[in-house]
């Protein structure tokens, strides 16, 4: 209604001023969203609605001092990754109006990233990109950063505030790089062997390791403090999965404990439960952790509800060598997925809603589920498989819809040891 009234008032103004020699200055009243994301060499259309006397009004799209177009609509194709600030101006003798747009061009838009552990003793960890059709671009970090690697025995990949953080067990243990162009932005190599990472905010993160948990300044990429637990004792031993939940940092001690710390000052709060794997946050705001068949529902008050999975079902955990948890929330539901299995073998992907469950995805014949699968916002499940339960050079990536129907599949070779899938959303 307000827009209709504005149109009416402005058009009456144009009519009443039609006898004047100077036209009314143009007004931009509607437009494309101010920030638009796209990919390199992928066209994006920017359009506007302008109230103006078309016969005496001109238009211009500017990128810095460069004139891109003199039409009301611009089709723009960025040629390299980065942010482009584009100005649209509508001008006549009465004045002008303008609008600024930011086009964010990513080197790899949408699709999926697969973090590869790497072939120990032969090759470092790496990151592969698969587009929506599962066309593969191998080693994208190395492509953007020649003669550099993300580390050895890579185990976690996290996206936060415009950056990726790759965690490895040896070498460059925590590496930061741009989500726009994949250029390296720093590393931590002087801390214990990495396990996982979570961003507390744009400036600070928490890094779990084979011996303790550390707070990291993400601007300088330096360790600034070490988490302390009960009786103000510095944490020692292996810590794995980590998440930021409400006002807390939750970390898993792999021997069997979820510890909570205040996000504000990193002070110790309590031992929450005896889980060894975490975390999935369901629709109702509960965080799920697990120890085999035992399920722990952690509420915002840190109260815990414990339950047991059906007989013969257990949340897979690699007890021989730490790998990221398979717990994943089901989008829009009070339910979660996990890899069901034991030892070296993940048998299937299981869905559970705290009351009942069932197998959602089974491995294809001759293949074994390998690595932590990913779940997209639309419910798609993206999983990697190998020809042996301990990994080999026969890799497959598949996309399933939320009902378990296969949508896409691609085979590729190499001793990659796919550790986890990160959906690029």
For 80-130, the pLDDT digits (tens) are: 999 999 999 999 999 999 999 999 999 998 999 999 999 988 999 999 999
Q: How far apart are CA 114 and CA 134, in angstroms?
A: 11
What's the confidence (pLDDT) of residue 382?
A: 98
| Ranges assigned E (strand) in 131-286 | 136-137, 152-160, 163-170, 174-178, 184-188, 194-199, 204-209, 212-217, 222-226, 239-245, 248-253, 257-262, 268-273, 277-281
Residues contacting residue 319 through CB under 8 Å, at least 6 positions apart: none
Q: Go through the chain and tell me how many residues it has.
A: 425
Question: Which residue has 């009070």 as its token pair?
Answer: 334
Q: What's the token pair of residue 16?
A: 């009443």
What's the confidence (pLDDT) of residue 11?
A: 43
Contact 61, 86 (CB under 8 A): yes
CA dihedral 386, 389, 392, 394 (to 10 degrees): -20
What's the confidence (pLDDT) of residue 419?
A: 97
Across all residues in the chain, what is the average pLDDT?
Answer: 92
Question: Alpha helices, DSSP H only, in 107-189?
Answer: 140-144
CB atoms within 10 A of CB 54: 11
pTM of the predicted model as reported, rounded to 2 decimal places = 0.89
For 55, the 3-state DSSP assignment is helix
| Ranges assigned E (strand) in 303-353 | 304-308, 328-329, 336-342, 345-352
Architecture of domain 112-423: 7 Propeller (2.130)
CB atoms within 10 A of CB 90: 22
**Segment 281-293 mean pLDDT:** 95
Query: Strand pairing of 406-413 and 394-400?
Result: antiparallel
Q: How far apart are CA 62 and CA 377, in angstroms?
A: 35
- Bridge partner residues of 200 (DSSP): none
Contact 316, 343 (CB under 8 A): no
- Bridge partner residues of 217 (DSSP): 204, 222
Exposed (0-12), middle (13-18) or buried (19+): which is 3, by Cβ within 10 Å?
Answer: exposed
Where does the chain hold its CATH 2.130.10.10 domain(s)?
112-423
What band does 53 get if pLDDT is binned at 50, 70 and 90? confident
Where does the chain hold its CATH 2.60.40.10 domain(s)?
2-106
pLDDT at 31 over 90: no
Q: How far apart are CA 317 and CA 256, in angstroms?
A: 12
pLDDT at 364 over 70: yes
Q: Given strand 35-39, what is the order of strands in its sheet?
A: 35-39, 95-106, 82-92, 58-63, 66-69
Architecture of domain 2-106: Sandwich (2.60)
Contact 174, 194 (CB under 8 A): yes
What's the confidence (pLDDT) of residue 20?
A: 54
Percent of the chain with pLDDT over 70: 95
pLDDT at 8 over 80: no
Phi, psi dihedrals of residue 342, rounded to the nearest 5°: -155, 170
What's the confidence (pLDDT) of residue 345?
A: 77
Q: Tens of pLDDT along 227-246?
A: 999 999 999 999 999 999 99
| Ranges assigned E (strand) in 163-226 | 163-170, 174-178, 184-188, 194-199, 204-209, 212-217, 222-226
What band does 21 get if pLDDT is binned at 50, 70 and 90? low
Q: Tens of pLDDT along 186-230?
A: 999 999 999 999 999 999 999 999 999 999 999 999 999 999 999
∠ CA(31), CA(37), CA(38), 5° rounding?
A: 115
């Amino acid at each position: 209604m307000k827009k209709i009234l504005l149109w009416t008032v402005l058009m009456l103004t144009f009519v009443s001023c039609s006898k004047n020699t100077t036209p009314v200055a143009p007004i931009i009243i509607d437009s494309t969203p101010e920030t638009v994301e796209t990919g390199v060499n992928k066209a994006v259309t920017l359009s506007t609605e302008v109230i103006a006397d078309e016969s005496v009004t001109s238009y211009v799209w500017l990128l810095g001092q460069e004139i891109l177009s003199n039409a009301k609509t611009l089709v723009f194709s960025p040629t390299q990754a980065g942010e482009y600030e584009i100005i649209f101006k509508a001008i006549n003798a009465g004045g002008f109006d303008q609008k600024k747009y930011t086009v964010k061009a990513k080197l790899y838009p949408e699709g999926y990233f697969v973090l590869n552990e790497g072939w120990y003793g032969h090759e470092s960890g790496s990151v592969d990109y698969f587009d929506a059709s599962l066309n593969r671009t191998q080693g994208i970090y190395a492509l953007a950063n020649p003669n550099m690697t993300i580390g050895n025995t890579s185990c976690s990949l996290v996206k936060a505030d415009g950056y990726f953080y790759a965690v490895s067990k040896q070498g460059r243990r925590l590496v930061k790089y741009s989500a726009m162009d994949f250029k390296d932005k720093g590393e931590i190599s002087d801390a214990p062997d990495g396990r996982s990472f979570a961003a507390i905010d744009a400036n600070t993160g928490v890094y779990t390791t084979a011996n303790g948990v550390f707070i990291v300044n993400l601007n300088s990429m330096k360790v600034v403090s070490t988490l302390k637990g009960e009786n103000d004792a510095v944490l020692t031993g292996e810590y794995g999965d980590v998440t930021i939940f409400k006002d807390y940092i939750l970390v898993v001690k792999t021997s069997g404990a979820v510890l909570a710390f205040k996000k504000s000052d990193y002070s110790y709060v309590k031992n929450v439960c005896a889980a060894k794997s975490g975390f999935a946050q369901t629709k109702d705001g509960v965080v799920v952790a697990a120890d085999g068949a035992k399920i722990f529902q952690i509420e915002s008050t840190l109260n815990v509800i414990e339950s047991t999975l059906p007989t013969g079902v257990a949340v897979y955990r690699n007890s021989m060598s730490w790998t990221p948890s398979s717990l994943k929330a089901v989008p829009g539901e009070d339910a979660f997925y996990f890899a069901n299995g034991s030892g070296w073998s993940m048998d299937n992907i299981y869905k559970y809603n705290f009351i009942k469950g069932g197998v959602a995805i089974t491995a294809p014949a001759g293949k074994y589920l390998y690595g932590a699968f990913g779940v997209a916002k639309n419910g798609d499940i993206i999983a990697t498989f190998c020809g042996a339960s301990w990994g080999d050079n026969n890799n497959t990536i598949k996309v399933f819809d939320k009902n378990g129907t296969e949508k896409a599949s691609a085979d590729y070779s190499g001793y990659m040891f796919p550790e986890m899938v990160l959906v690029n959303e």
